[in-house]
Amino acid sequence: MYDIKILEEEWKRYNRKKRLPWILGSIAFVLIAVSFIFLSDLRTLISSLQEQEKQVHKKSTKYENILISGPLIMLEDKNEADEKNLPLVDVSLETTQEKNSENLSRKSVQIEVVEANDPNAYKEVEKRFRLGHDVDDSLFLAKAYYAKRKYKKAEYWALQTNKIDNNIEESWLIFVKAKLKRGQKNEALRILNAYIKRTNSAEAKVLLEKIKKGKV
């Protein structure tokens, strides 16, 4: 009788060898399956991101429209060039990726607003302003709040803008109009007259006339 133990060991080795292609095949199958699932998920993720991006773009456009169509932009003699210089336009440009060299030279606002009406979006900008004291941020908030008829906040953010840079006409005009809306007409006229005296701005004069006629 030959040694069964040795034969058993030999059989174990044979069995392992016999199963190896099956094991390798199974591993390969699992890897292929996992890769397929992963790629499929990745594709879904990419398409969802693209969809999200489209939505953001859409919202941003909407957001831009809200502000552009807001009372502030409805000032007479407002030209396109001024509009382009609005920080908001930067946002729009960022999101639509239409890079304008002039705008690029300015500090980009990089507003990560998903929804223009989302209060969190404004808070984000406020937070960023406190960190960077960027007039683009504060002016954006002033315009946005004014458009939303939140005049107290609009006044506050226009004031913050003016504190940093007192030569931003748009900010001064929002400040005056916000005061006016809050019923502080005398104060508004005093500030506007002081501004006209300092800058002799045509737009400010137009606004003064409108206030006097009660058209604002």
Partner 1 sequence: MKSRYESAKNVFIDSIDLDDYIELDASLKAFQQLEHSIDKPLKMILLFGRPGTGKSILLNRLYEKLKHKREIYYFDTPAINEKEFFHKIFKVLTNKSLPQNTEVNFSALVNYCKDLRGKREIIILLDEAQMYDVQMMEKIRLLSDSRSIKFIVSLHKTDDEDLVAKEHFQSRIWEVIELKNADLHDQTTYIHKKLLKKNLFEIANSIKDKHMKLIHKFTKGNYRECNKMMFTIFEICEYYDKNEPAKINYSQIPQKVIEMAALKLGYIHV
Q: How far is the CB of 30 from partner 1 (least distance, A)?
A: 26
For 47, phi then psi, to 5°, come to -65, -35
Q: Which is nearer to partner 1, 4 or 131 (CB)?
A: 4
Q: How far is the CB of 23 from partner 1 (least distance, A)?
A: 17
Min separation Cβ 28 and partner 1, Å: 24
User: Closest separation between CB of residue 15 and partner 1, Å?
Assistant: 7
- CA proximity to 171, closest of 189, 144, 202: 144
| CB neighbourhood size of 9 (10 A) | 11
Task: Calculate Rg over the CA atoms of the chain.
Answer: 32
Chosen residue from 2, 77, 213, 215 binding partner 1 by CB under 8 A: 2
Of 9 and 76, which has the nearer Cβ to partner 1? Answer: 9
- Residue reference for tokens 């639509």: 96
8-state DSSP, 73: G
Fill in the per-residue mask, 105 to 144: x = in contact with partner 1 (CB under 8 A), - = not in contact: ----------------------------------------
Query: Given the complex with partner 1, which of 2 and 22 has the nearer CB atom?
Result: 2
- Rounded least distance, CB 25 to partner 1, Å: 20
Binders of partner 1 in range 7-66 (CB under 8 A):
7-8, 10-11, 13-15, 17
Taking contact as CB under 8 A, which single stretch among the options 5-13, 51-59, 161-169, 187-195 is the one that binds partner 1? 5-13
DSSP string, 122-181: HHHHHHHHHHH--HHHHHHHHHHHHHTT-HHHHHHHHHHHHHH-TT-HHHHHHHHHHHHH
Cα–Cα distance for residue pair 200/93, rounded to 1 Å? 32
Exactly one of 4, 74, 81, 131 binds partner 1 (CB under 8 A); that residue is 4
Within the chain, residue ranges assigned H as helices are 4-68, 80-85, 87-96, 101-105, 119-132, 135-147, 151-164, 169-181, 185-199, 202-213
Give the interface size with partner 1 as a residue count (CB under 8 A).
11
Q: Tell me which stretch binds partner 1 (CB under 8 A): 1-9, 44-52, 69-77, 90-98.
A: 1-9
CA dihedral 48, 49, 52, 56 (to 10 degrees): -170
Name residue 129's amino acid: F
Q: How far is the CB of 22 from partner 1 (least distance, A)?
A: 15
Q: Provide the binding-site residues for partner 1, judged by CB under 8 A.
A: 1-2, 4, 7-8, 10-11, 13-15, 17
